[in-house]
Amino acid sequence: MNIRTTTTRTHHSTVSARLVRAGLLSLAAAALISSAALADDAAPAAGTPAAGSWQSHKFSFQYMGFTSTYSCDGLADKLKKLLLAAGARADVKSQPGACASGFGRPDKFARADLTFYTLTPADAAAGGKTAPGLWRPVAFSDRSPRDLQIGDCELIEQFRSQVLPMFTTRNVVNNTSCVPHQESGSLIDLKFDAFAAIPANKGAVPANGGG
């Protein structure tokens, strides 16, 4: 009887310990879920306006690719559209660089000189000139922007690695894959969120331009 009583008590103690451990693990899991939810709530939401400050950029872009060849003026025009689509201020300047070929003639070493402004989040309480901005989704793919084609795949790769870091971005997903010397099998698929200005009027440069 004593042995059975001792065994029963030991069994109950073991069960109780397991229940306590299970309860603690449940509480820990709940705490982690709660913390994750709070972190998600603290993250800036897309489409929520916030103060931003303008950053000035000057960059000489030299195209190096195997599949497509651009004239210097054609490269400058395409880069301007990419800059605007990525969230640059409306007064982008994209000019043909020093090229051996003349206007409209393809050049294997096409260049373009870029001058543009990007918006970065700022502390409005810190003072200084600010402009209203928000996070907005951007996607580059075939025909998005409209003039973008599969033949521009290598240009998108260079834009992503050389120019996009000058923008304030998050959630960058790049599935772009370019096959040299051919368009078949290439894919343009670049997505990201960009912090960009809220235009007061279509095509207008926001007030407090900072430059």
Asked if 119 and 155 sit in the same domain, the reply is yes
Asked if 145 and 92 sit in the same domain, the reply is yes
Residue 205: what pLDDT? 41
Domains identified in the chain, total number: 2
Asked if 90 and 152 sit in the same domain, the reply is yes
The backbone region for 87, taken as left when phi is positive above 0, alpha when psi lies in -120 to 50, beta otherwise, is left
Q: Which domain holds residue 5?
A: 1-43
On the CB side of 112, CA atoms within 13 Å amount to 28
pLDDT digits (tens, 9 = 90+) for 76-126: 999 999 999 999 999 999 999 988 777 778 888 899 999 999 999 987 666
pLDDT per residue rounded down to tens, the chain (211 residues): 333 333 333 344 443 444 334 443 343 444 433 333 333 333 456 668 999 999 999 999 999 999 999 999 999 999 999 999 999 999 999 999 988 777 778 888 899 999 999 999 987 666 668 899 999 999 999 999 999 999 999 999 999 999 999 999 999 999 999 999 999 999 999 999 999 999 765 444 443 444 4
- Does residue 202 form part of some domain? no
Residue 200: what pLDDT? 67
Asked whether the beta carbons of 48 and 162 are under 8 A apart, the reply is: no
Q: Is 0.85 topped by the overall pTM?
A: no
Asked if 77 and 140 sit in the same domain, the reply is yes
Asked if 176 and 84 sit in the same domain, the reply is yes
Residue 2's identity, in one-letter code, is: N
Asked if 6 and 92 sit in the same domain, the reply is no
Asked if 67 and 28 sit in the same domain, the reply is no
Residue 126: what pLDDT? 63
- Does residue 170 form part of some domain? yes
Q: Which two tokens stand for residue 84?
A: 């605007």
Asked if 188 and 122 sit in the same domain, the reply is yes
Residue 172's identity, in one-letter code, is: V
Rounded Cα distance, 166 and 196, in Å: 12
Residue 23: what pLDDT? 45
Residue 132: what pLDDT? 93
Asked if 96 and 169 sit in the same domain, the reply is yes
Asked if 153 and 193 sit in the same domain, the reply is yes
Residue 130: what pLDDT? 87
Residue 125: what pLDDT? 60
- Does residue 203 form part of some domain? no
Asked whether the beta carbons of 164 and 189 are under 8 A apart, the reply is: no
Asked if 38 and 57 sit in the same domain, the reply is no
Q: Which two tokens stand for residue 146?
A: 């409209």
Q: At 207, phi and psi to the nearest 5?
A: -65, 165
